[in-house]
Structure 1
Amino acid sequence: MATQQEASDERISQFDYDFLPELSAILGIDAVQLAKEMEEDQQKVQAKMRKGYNSQMRSEAKRLKTFVTYEPYSSWTPQEMAAAGFYFTGVKAGVQCFCCSLILFGTSLRRLPIEDHKKFHPDCGFLLNKDVGNIAKYDIRVKNLGSRLRGGKMRYQQEEARLGSFRNWPFYAQGISPPVLSEAGFVFTGKQDTVQCFSCGGCLGNWEEGDDPWKEHAKWFPKCEFLQSKKSSEEIAQYIQSYKGFVDITGEHFVNSWVQRELPMASAYCNDSIFAYEELRLDSFKDWPWESEVGAAALAKAGLFYTEVAQGEAQWFQEAKNLNEQLRAAYTSASFRHMSLLDISSDLTTDHLLGCDLSIASKHISKPVQEPLVLPEVFASLNSVMCVEGEAGSGKTVLLKKIAFLWASGCCPLLNRFQLVFYLSLSSTRPDQGLVNIICDQLLEKEVSVTEMCMRNILQQLKNQVLFLLDDYKEICSVPQVIGKLIQKNHLSRTCLLIAVRTDRARDIRRYLETILEIKAFPFYNTIFILRKLFSHNMTRLQKFMIYFRKNESLQKIQKTPLFVAAVCAHWFQYPFDPSFYDVAVFKSYMERLFLRNKVTAELLKATVSSCGELALKGFFSCCFEFNDDDLTEAGVDEDEDLTMCLMSKFTAQRLRPSYQFLSPAFQEFLAGMRLIELLDSDRQEHQDLGLYYLKQINSPMMTVSAYNNFLNYVSSLPSTKAGPKIVSHLLHLVDNKESLENISENDDYLKHQPEISLKMQLIRGLWQICPQAYFSMVSEHLLVLALNIAYQSNTVAACSPLVLQFLQGRTLTLKVLNLQYFFDHPESLSLLRSIHVSIKGNKTSPRFDFSVLEACLDKSQAPTIDQDYASAFEPMNEWEQNLAEKEDNVKSYMAIQRRAPPDLSTGYWKLSPKQYKIPCLEVHVNGIDAVDQEMLEILMTVFSASQRIELHLNHSGGFIESIRPALELSKASVTKCSISKLELSAAEEELLLTLPSLESLELSGTIQSQDQIFPNLDKFLCLKELSVDLKGNINVFSVIPEEFPNFHHMEKLLIQISADCDPSKLVKLIQNSPNLHVFHLKCNFFSDFESLMTALASCKKLTEIKFSDSFFEAVPFVAILPNFISLKILNLAGQHFPDEETSEKFAKVAINGGFQKLENLNLSINHKITEEGYRNFFQALDNMPNLQELNISRHFTECIKAQATTVKSLSQCVLRLPSLIRLNMLSWLLDADDIALLNVMKERHPQSKYLTILQKWILPFSPIIQK
């Protein structure tokens, strides 16, 4: 065993680095880098974990129990890990060997846990089969030694002598002290940790910390004379009553098991029996007929013990023994273990499931609390009448057959206490059948001589040594009378019964039960266990299967019963190369097998699927996943029909009324999709209308990406020539429907059943708020792919094509969309698009913002002084900075392992040759990469050549232009836009840009370089319409531009910065010559002729966006020309000053008079000259701005406004008059609890209540001064 130092310093790698490149291709990440990071993290965790031998985990059953909280998503089962010596530590996914302390954090499809154990710790004593105290899973405490105590009974009568026998007591049993054992009458045998009572000869082992030797002695050998001399009968009875499991079982039941050995004849002396001791032999004569001429004492002295098998009763004994042998042969036969699941394939049978332990919970009939159990605990608890309940196909039959097989094989000592085990299927019985007849029909190949009378005698004699495993129970009135009597009058026969019953049928036997075993969902690791057994030749497919369900965690629940696993196997056997959605394939396969299995009742099954589909569809759109009797009746579902229970589960326990659920939420969605297609495909108008009604419930594009995503995938997989065009039409109109955009909402009821999509919906909502264009592009592409899948699946592409063409008009989609078959079949549709977006990302990251610079810039002496009531308006920067840094690190770590495969140009549009139709506009977005490799260059050359116009957007990517020179040289006439940010152009790159004859837009930002060649030669860009310059430092662009440039008449966008000493005439002239100007940003400290600038701007009637930065702004002349800008959408006056209330009121009147009808963004921040009263008047007047989405009225933290209630009320009323507002920035407005409550009430009433964000908290490197 490893020392603690060795274990903590040990570094191991479970990853197969030879396989990781293949995994990288599947996952789209750098699996090698990820593996190294995970190993580093695991090493840190491992160093903190306990090391050394763990005696508390030497029991395999206890190790198995630790996995109750283990994540089901694993390629190793708990049974495999516990058998290999591991227990679950609860730290991440770590498992640890009880013996050598080896810690493993990962699992492998290609290797078993025992193989990794041998690989990393081949010298582990457990692996070498040394005596390290391992207790096998099904082992029992009662031992059966083959020899007496050396020296006989008299030698160990003294406790001191008994204690002396423990000199070599094993290290792994130190949890129980020898003095305590010797006091209880035990002597160490020298074999493992087995001890033997000097008086009764009973042997016990498997001692663990916390065991009470007196309690164990009393439980297993209650008639021991020594025990009875030391403990009162009440104490012994209390010991037995408080013992967990093995009710009414003693050591004798195990020692004399027929399964373990041949039962000795009455006159035979067997030295491995507890009856080797005269006292116990004499005790066996307690029921000896005293009228017999032979005395019991004499018989016991002669070495005989009483078996209650007198000559007249010998027949039942011999018949029982023969029956035992025949039953064991039956249960170990292939015919018993092989039962096809779903009638799908002879390759997939129940014996593949025997190696899986089902997930089982136990509950007392009068208590709602459930306790998870592992199989050894289940076997120990078998007593009286118990039932195991579960859904249809949950594995009840498998469990019962596993018990029968384990008993018959003799490899499960826990079951050896049963002399006879009868597995009987009640579905194959008749009410009038006798027990012998049932047994012969189902289990025995030949008739047996045992009669019904003899069978009753056997049951009477063996009592709780007989176990009945009753399968397919329906109701008490339908079972044979003899079985019913065993259930109802079990207190007379005292046999053990385990009844398998479907969850909805357990009610009428509950009165006879004390304990119910419930089969829970089939763990996902069992699914992998079976698939690995059957498809070990195709590990890549199995790997993809696991990855799919990791990415779609909610769908793991569809594998909740072995039947769904059988459906997966059936599909894989039938379609070995099918790459379709795994959940779709599973559900389709399951339904196909149901119809194959029920050919005789196909019409009834079809009607059942239809009515259940109606219930599923109605429930899905009302976010209902649990139903009652009334719901089923309304949908026409027959709750008593067996076929219904192939689709649904019924729950009756602890309920006044039964409830119903579909086999999984995803399965409900699948059936709902089937029903929707059926309705839309119907010839009946009322069915079509109902289908359209349900279809229109999908009224938000966001929901198609999130909550309704799986449902629509199922719909797209179900072909229908009638339904296809209807669904395609509805989906493609969602994005353009204004009402659908207002339905971008989270359905809280749905999230209760799909909580994992909550984060996804938050991210999508955030994308919509921050960058609506990106949101529209994303949902547009999603809906297009979905619609085309439906069109092709239903063979209605021709009928759907006009809808698709209309949808494509003016869209921006990503490059991968062109891989769709539609663009090969209809390349002319390309001309309708606005653009195609392609993204090229590298691993370079922008440096993290240094907040210490901000701290140095801000004067702590200016910290505001506020009342305690307003402290919530400020937040310390250090905590916020730390949280931000952690998030940035997580993002960087994630981005670092991303493996960005180059675009695939092998399918769809790219198969066309020649390419008659070209991409209208190609947007190339480049970030964090200095150069491309040869493969990417060739791809760009191909894509450039297929594009009419090319736009380059480069960020933090110096040298990129030079690296793609060959592509640009071939397509320079197509480049119409170049946006350059945070990079320095080389002289060669500047020269290359100047050769682009069709450049219409040039943007330069985030650099201190003055672009020596570009600005003096701007007049060479004869087509230039957009110029944006935002350089660091005091750079005067207009001082170096050529004289002819201001004469250009086609400028549409101008974002410029000029210095105070600049001649303003060039800029004014350029504006005067630009009647089509849409966007104007000016950054300037001083503008000598502001009036002329305003006059020039007033002539630009098409302006949609204005932004003024720095201190040149004059409010009065600007407000005067505002009514000219009727198309204005964004007005940013951050940091500018309104000199008086009159000017601000004039500004508001412009809005009232309809001047800001199209305005979407209004920024009035840092306007410190506006008083609180001025703001209040402004709020009261502001109106008629239906499209305003963002309003900024923030102030500097030194200029806080302690808002009065009337001002806050005016603000609330103002916001309610802005129906599209989703962001209100109001830093430095000090609000108390009442003010905040008023704003929250306003938010609830606002049309954008779910999305309206109020930013009110400053984040500063120092805290405000709290005024007492």
Structure 2
Amino acid sequence: VSFIKSKRSELIQRMTKTTIRQIVDELFEEDVLNSEEMDRIMCKPLSQDACRLLLEEVLKKGSKACDLFHQFLKKHNSYLFEDLQETSIFLSVTKQNLDSLTEDLKDLYLSSCFQKFHPLGGDIDIIFDLDTTFTDTVLLKKNINNCKLGELNLHTLLDELKNPCIIEGEAGKGKSTLLKRIAALWASGNCPALTKFRLVFFLSLSSVRRGLYETICEQLLREPYSMKKATFMEALWDLKQDVLFLLDGYDEFMPQASLEIDDLIRKNHKYKNVVIVSTRTESVRRIRQFGSLIIEVGDLSEASACSLIKNVLDCDMAQSLLLQLDESSTMKELMKTPLFAVIACAIRMGESNFIPNTQTALFSTLYDLMVDKNKYKTKNVAASHITQSINRCGDLALDGIFDHRLNFQEEDLLDVKEEVLLAAGLLNKYTAQRLKPVYRFFHKSFQEYTAGRRLKELLTSKSKAEVTRAHQYMQKIDTVSKITNEYRNLLLYTCGSSIEATGIIIKHIAGVYKHDSLKEFSLIESRQSIPSIEGDLSKNLENSECGETPKATNLDCLVECSISFFYESSSKSILSKEFEEFFNNKSLYINTLSIPTYLFDFFKYLPNCLSALDLIKLDLFGNPPPSVCEGVDELSGQNENHMACKTYIPEKAVSLFFDWSQVLNTLEVTLANFQKLNKKDIKYLGKICCAASSLRLHVSKSAGITGELQNVLETCKNMQELIVKATPLTLQDEQQIVMMEGLKTLYISNLQTERLQGGFVDGMCNLVNIEQLTLDNVRMTEADAKKLVPAENIVYLKKLTLLHLSRLITIGEGMSDIVEAASREASVLEEIKLINCCLTDSALKILAQNLCNIQELKVLDLSENNLAEEANDSLTRLVDNITALTKLTTLMLPCGSDVGYCLPRLSAQLEHMPVLTKLGLENWGLTDADIGILTTMMEKENMKGLQYLNLAKNSVSSEGWLSLFKALRELKELKYIDFSSKEELQPNPELIKELGHLICNLPLLLEVRMLKWQLDEHDLRAINNNMKTSSK
């Protein structure tokens, strides 16, 4: 009796089902147990439960039954009997015992069978080495309230180790590898923090079915082991904190299978051995209360991910993958999860089971691995329930994308087998410090992939109901901005999952583009992206062109998206017709700092689409930044010194265009920040430019091109547009420019060198086909102006539709000659901008007199010119004759002394100009009385289409602005307003309130400027709240 009572716990843990069955049969034959008692014992599925019931029955029967049990145990399991009786010859722990055990463990941890492993499961013959693949992840220290306290690395963790330590993390974060690395470090003796441990045991809890000693023998040593259980347990008791247990995978552990191992964690005070246990996030709730130190496994750093890739792959494969990471911010983000990095490496290794190198391939491989590898966890669940749960998981992801949800509740999973999704790792469960659990996909991108996979199934389904449901989702993606931003990844993964689905999506995108008002939507989207007014009073728009830049950006993004969808689908030429219809008359932007791989496939498989494009924009940079993954240059054997002797124009750009046999419509090439241009660069540039029938060349901040521009222009045939910004020109450069008779657009800015005899000023008359001329901040004298428009030869002005002159502050009276030449005869001019360029009274009178000759004019911008006392007569003449310009949409007037008196006359004239959309009265000295006139003007029907209003640098009080704001509320097309004050303005609360209403009532408003308004934090908060309300 005493034996059974004293050894009861060990008997329950160590007696196998076979031993129990043999003893029960013996006791039945001796009439100790009847048939009913025997059946009750043997029906227990777990050996522990069966043994527990057997011992209870034997103790009930008395001492004779106990003696028989004792006898039969010795007969059928003498090893266990002797061990429990402590009759083994190894009755005490000796130094020899421990040395032998330590040596066995270290030999194991340093052996190939422990160091080398199959990261994707034994079914796939890809082997990684622990020593080369392990890289430090970010470890986050947390308190009991689940708050992050700071970051640690592995060595810091071991230095600050507390007992027990819980390592939590989502699937694929590298928890197992971390624990195995600790074991290997201990065996190597290279980690000082681990030398204090005499024994280290790494145990995989997923396969535990027996007691502690038996599990260690089974997983790490051999059976039977030379050290008996009693001796081993005595060693654990004696060594206490000199023993480290690394328990991996508590989420897959069944505590009833081994109470001894569970007690290591829950009753650590009993054993006093040091324990580090890993578990997935959804299971940490089971042991979180017992942890003295809780660590969450975070992401790999970018450097660590690159290091892992270089260690696993050979040089060429690693370089290829690192370059792919450089091209995709999404891929770089994904590589922070170790499992993603491992799968990406596996795909690069060319395993035949894997599909091509796309983001979808990464997720598809991961998805299939997670579902297949974890089937054993749900073997008791019906296949139909598993299929239903996985489909429902896709629906959950899809609904979450459209509802902007990353967190899901228990009620969302009512019709799902939760254990199926958790076991497969498709969902993670979070319970720490929550009343109700929260479920999430382990990565936002994985949710997008799962949603895309499900959307593909619905789009290509044979069920009408599912197809209808798919189209209901697609109808929610009804604007270009939603395609390029909000739902881009969803569509990407849908295309990557099916060529058939790709065709459907491209047709949908074409339909959205056709029906979506791009310009209007771009403006609204730009407005919604305006930062908080407390940090920035306005959104700076380039050139303040009322939405033209956002429109172009949206179009570029749409084209880029569509090409990435093509590449992701791996459709090659299969969908060439569908793509050609979409790309027709659109533009493509290429940045040579990072030419994505998919462009080469686009050029190769869809040449018809390239020919259909209206414009390709190519940006070339003289000083490219270093690669994000520093290892790329290192792997390719390139360094800065080596690059110095190479070309600045990348060979990838040359091969992209020169190796292509067809002709592009229009190519726009930008050269930016070139401090040097080699002969080979010029040759490369010629090869690129010959691919287009029409060429545009933009040069910006490139001192290295000075003196070489003439050679560049000689190689660039069919040039129709030349823009030179902040780049000095030699005389030879200027002469080459004016020799290009086919040039239609010339733009030169920030050129402050002296105009030499024979330069572009003298030769401008050769450009007989010029249509657009812009000179900005160019050093020009009055004599230069006369050369620019010689009276005897103004043929080159005949085709001019755009004349922009700005910041020509040294031109003097020469502006009169230019205005005279541009307007004295009937012309096709549509835009005249003379901004801050010494506009004089005489020049303005000439312009006013000749307005009848430029009746095609749509834009007249004379802003930032101060005529001082001479303004009265000349400005009056201009206003009186302005109605001759019936097509005028933009009117920006100069300022001067007392020009406000022209306002009533201007108000009357504007009644006859119904197409006006932009009006500027900057620095007109307007008072409250003038604002009253302006308010009346704004209330008239002809002003309803006004989009741009500049009233900056005027002297208006709060009361004056208040009356105007109420009138402006009805101008629903307004996108830009400038209320900046000439003097400091302290707005009253009523004005601030009305400003909020104005912002809220103008749906297309992009920018409001209020320089010199004294706004406190309350004013800013009120305005900002109205902006947020308006955005909604």
User: TM-score normalized by structure 1?
Assistant: 0.58
1:780 positional shift: 2.9
State whether structure 2 residue 882 is matched by structure 1 residue 1107. Answer: no
Alignment-derived partner of residue 1032 in structure 1: 780
- Amino acid aligned to 2:782: N
3-state SS of the aligned residue for 1:722? helix
Number of residue equivalences: 872
1:1210 positional shift: 2.0
Alignment-derived partner of residue 1166 in structure 1: 923
Alignment-derived partner of residue 883 in structure 1: none
Alignment-derived partner of residue 392 in structure 1: 171
Q: Comparing 366-375 with 1072-1081, which one deviates more in the overlay?
A: 366-375
Contact 1:1026 1:1053 in 2 (8 A): yes
Alignment-derived partner of residue 348 in structure 1: 127
1:1233 positional shift: 4.8
1:687–1:1096 Cα change, 3 Å: farther
Contact 1:463 1:495 in 2 (8 A): yes
1:796–1:488 Cα change, 3 Å: closer
Contact 1:353 1:398 in 2 (8 A): no
1:1068–1:505 Cα change, 3 Å: closer
**2 CA distance for matches of 1:448 and 1:1063?**
103
Alignment-derived partner of residue 660 in structure 1: 439
Alignment of 1:1140-1155 (within 5 A): 1140=900, 1143-1148=902-907, 1153=911, 1155=913
Which ranges of structure 2 fall in alignment gaps of 5 or more residues? 1-84, 625-643, 1015-1032
Alignment-derived partner of residue 794 in structure 2: 1045
1:1254 positional shift: 1.0
Contact 1:331 1:337 in 2 (8 A): no
**2 CA distance for matches of 1:1043 and 1:519?**
82
State whether structure 2 residue 290 is matched by structure 1 residue 520. Answer: no
Alignment-derived partner of residue 787 in structure 1: 562
**2 CA distance for matches of 1:583 and 1:843?**
30
1:1165 positional shift: 1.1
State which of 808, 828, 834 in structure 2 corresponds to 1:1076: 828
Contact 2:580 2:608 in 1 (8 A): no
Contact 2:720 2:742 in 1 (8 A): yes
Q: Comparing 708-717 with 957-966, which one deviates more in the overlay?
A: 957-966
Alignment-derived partner of residue 808 in structure 1: 584
- Amino acid aligned to 1:1097: L
Alignment of 1:390-429 (within 5 A): 390-402=169-181, 423-429=202-208
Contact 1:327 1:422 in 2 (8 A): no
3-state SS of the aligned residue for 1:663? coil
Contact 2:829 2:856 in 1 (8 A): yes
**How well do the aligned residues superpose, as a CA RMSD in angstroms?**
5.4
- Amino acid aligned to 1:518: I
**1 CA distance for matches of 2:766 and 2:157?**
86
Contact 1:426 1:471 in 2 (8 A): yes
State whether structure 2 residue 1006 is matched by structure 1 residue 1251. Answer: yes
1:666 positional shift: 3.2
State whether structure 2 residue 280 is matched by structure 1 residue 502. Answer: yes
3-state SS of the aligned residue for 2:973? coil
1:326–1:1067 Cα change, 3 Å: closer
**1 CA distance for matches of 2:129 and 2:225?**
28
Alignment-derived partner of residue 74 in structure 1: none
3-state SS of the aligned residue for 1:1041? coil
1:957–1:595 Cα change, 3 Å: closer
- Amino acid aligned to 1:901: I
**2 CA distance for matches of 1:1122 and 1:951?**
35
**1 CA distance for matches of 2:590 and 2:191?**
61
Alignment of 1:428-827 (within 5 A): 428-430=207-209, 433-448=210-225, 469-473=246-250, 474=252, 478-481=256-259, 483=261, 498-510=276-288, 513-524=290-301, 526-535=304-313, 537-538=314-315, 542=318, 558-559=334-335, 561-574=337-350, 586-594=362-370, 597=373, 610-633=391-414, 637-641=416-420, 644=423, 646-695=425-474, 697-698=476-477, 714-715=493-494, 717-727=496-506, 729-730=508-509, 733-734=512-513, 737-738=518-519, 740-745=521-526, 766=541, 773=548, 775-791=550-566, 793-795=569-571, 797=573, 799=575, 801=577, 804-805=580-581, 807-809=583-585, 811=587, 820-822=600-602
3-state SS of the aligned residue for 2:418? coil
Contact 2:804 2:831 in 1 (8 A): yes
1:373 positional shift: 6.0
Contact 2:164 2:268 in 1 (8 A): yes
Alignment-derived partner of residue 1193 in structure 1: 951
3-state SS of the aligned residue for 1:614? helix
**1 CA distance for matches of 2:673 and 2:241?**
75
State whether structure 2 residue 992 is matched by structure 1 residue 1237. Answer: yes
1:1103 positional shift: 1.6
**2 CA distance for matches of 1:413 and 1:959?**
56
3-state SS of the aligned residue for 2:832? strand
1:615 positional shift: 2.9
- Amino acid aligned to 1:1245: C
**2 CA distance for matches of 1:1250 and 1:427?**
60
1:969–1:466 Cα change, 3 Å: closer
Alignment of 1:690-1089 (within 5 A): 690-695=469-474, 697-698=476-477, 714-715=493-494, 717-727=496-506, 729-730=508-509, 733-734=512-513, 737-738=518-519, 740-745=521-526, 766=541, 773=548, 775-791=550-566, 793-795=569-571, 797=573, 799=575, 801=577, 804-805=580-581, 807-809=583-585, 811=587, 820-822=600-602, 833-838=613-618, 900-902=648-650, 904=652, 906-907=654-655, 910-913=658-661, 915=662, 917=663, 919-923=664-668, 932-943=677-688, 945-951=690-696, 963=708, 974-977=718-721, 992=736, 995-1001=739-745, 1006=751, 1009=755, 1021-1026=767-772, 1032-1035=780-783, 1037=785, 1041-1043=790-792, 1045=794, 1050-1054=799-803, 1071=823, 1073-1074=825-826, 1076-1081=828-833, 1086=840
**1 CA distance for matches of 2:620 and 2:152?**
53
Contact 1:1150 1:1156 in 2 (8 A): no
Alignment-derived partner of residue 68 in structure 1: none
**1 CA distance for matches of 2:538 and 2:961?**
34
1:1078 positional shift: 0.9
**2 CA distance for matches of 1:798 and 1:835?**
24
- Amino acid aligned to 1:684: S
1:406 positional shift: 5.8
Alignment of 1:183-194 (within 5 A): none
**2 CA distance for matches of 1:663 and 1:359?**
17
1:1178 positional shift: 0.5
Contact 2:977 2:1007 in 1 (8 A): yes
Contact 1:616 1:669 in 2 (8 A): yes
**1 CA distance for matches of 2:913 and 2:857?**
12
**1 CA distance for matches of 2:155 and 2:729?**
73
1:942 positional shift: 4.0
Higher helix share: 2
1:382–1:929 Cα change, 3 Å: closer
**2 CA distance for matches of 1:621 and 1:367?**
30
1:329 positional shift: 1.5
**1 CA distance for matches of 2:344 and 2:185?**
28
- Amino acid aligned to 2:294: L
1:613–1:1019 Cα change, 3 Å: same
Which ranges of structure 1 fall in alignment gaps of 5 or more residues? 1-309, 753-758, 845-895, 1260-1268
**2 CA distance for matches of 1:312 and 1:801?**
85
Contact 2:355 2:361 in 1 (8 A): no
Alignment-derived partner of residue 17 in structure 2: none
3-state SS of the aligned residue for 1:1174? helix
1:1252–1:517 Cα change, 3 Å: same
3-state SS of the aligned residue for 1:316? coil
1:1133 positional shift: 0.9
Alignment of 1:285-434 (within 5 A): 315-317=90-92, 322=97, 325-326=100-101, 328-330=103-105, 332-333=107-108, 334=111, 335-343=113-121, 348-349=127-128, 351-352=130-131, 360=139, 365=144, 370=149, 387-402=166-181, 423-430=202-209, 433-434=210-211
**2 CA distance for matches of 1:384 and 1:970?**
73
- Amino acid aligned to 1:343: G
Contact 1:390 1:519 in 2 (8 A): yes
3-state SS of the aligned residue for 2:525? coil
**2 CA distance for matches of 1:653 and 1:351?**
32
- Amino acid aligned to 2:790: I
